[in-house]
Each structure stands twice: as C-alpha cells, then as structure tokens.
Amino acid sequence: MKIKTERLNIIPFTIDMAESVHQNSLDDDNRKFVPDEVFETKEAAEMVLKSLISFYGKDRMPKVYAILLHDGQQIGHVQAAPIRKGWEIGYHIGKAFTGKGYATEALRAFLPAIMDKLGIKEIAGICHVGNMASRKVMENCGFTLQAERLGLYQWKIKKIRKYKYVRQAQHEE
C-alpha cells in the first residue's frame, strides 16, 4: 500500500529506516504514552522493523506503515493493529515534526485505504486520557468518543479514552 497526500507519502517500512525510527521514538511523549514504541538503539528499531515488515500480507497482524515527507525524510508511522474485537488505529509523529498537522493528514488518508484493505467499516482508537495531541488528532479525523474510563493501557490500568471511527457508505452518483 502506498498513499500520497499533499505533504506526505505513506509507504511500507524498509529496514534502512531503522535509524530514523530509533530517533523519532525517543521523545518524552512517546516514553510517557507508548513506552513499548521507544527504541533505545538503532539495532532495537531494526529488530522491530524486521518483524513489522514480515507482517505485510499476513492476516490479523499489525499493518504498520512509514510516514515520510515528500523529500523522503521518515517522520513517523501509522498503523492498524488487531484487537480482540476488530482493529485499532495507531500513529506517531516524531517530536521534531509535531504541531504541523502531519498526524491528522496521514490518518485522514490512511483510514479509507486501510479499511478497504481490511474489509472493515469501523475501527477503534484508544489513548491515555492525558494524551491531548492524540485525542485532538482522532477528533479532527471524525472519531467519536465512546467512553472515558479506567482500562488496560500499556499493560497497566490507566484512565483511557476509547474512540470509534465509522466509515460512511460511499454513494455513487
């Protein structure tokens, strides 16, 4: 799957992106909200990328794609991951690139493409209640809040927000 937006390219990961994945993972927000996506070394990022790359084309495995600027600089990722009932969206933009609307732009383009690929009409979004940036991205992309409650998040009980995105039917004219 390859998606092009006004400012971004969303493409499958390649192993040569390990250094940028490592660097983009080290920011404080990532450490706070998704510590399992922090890669302290390039080699750690490389190991994870090898797994993610092996999942392309396999059913019920995470579908994780790199987000690049048009100049080829890898700035983050977007993903759909299987959960107990359905699929969950995920995304991250490296701290050096936040505040520019890249996550919203990527997610808006990714949602219809991944939902078509997976044959689904809805997808979940879950974030820590304190992750204001993630909440804003989902809300800007049309996700609706389903609940704010205590729940399992990053293997601990935390206050979370659960969202849902339902794709509207395509109308032919």
pLDDT in tens, 24-82: 777 777 666 666 776 778 888 889 889 889 999 888 899 999 999 999 999 999 999 99
Chain-centroid distance of CA 126 in Å reads 11
SS3 165: strand
What is the pLDDT at residue 172?
46
pTM: 0.88
Q: How far apart are CA 7 and CA 93, in angstroms?
A: 14
Residues counted in the chain = 173
What is the pLDDT at residue 139?
95
* Continuous segment of H or E residues that includes residue 117: helix 102-118
pLDDT reading at 171 higher than 60? no
Task: Name the one residue in this structure whose structure tokens are 């078509």.
Answer: 116
Task: Name the one residue in this structure whose structure tokens are 């995304």.
Answer: 91
Does residue 168 or residue 139 have the better pLDDT?
139
Percent of the chain beyond pLDDT 90?
A: 58
Q: How far apart are CA 27 and CA 108, in angstroms?
A: 24
Cβ–Cβ under 8 Å, residues 146 and 111: no
What is the pLDDT at residue 31?
65
Work out the pLDDT band at 16, boundaries 50, 70, 90: very high
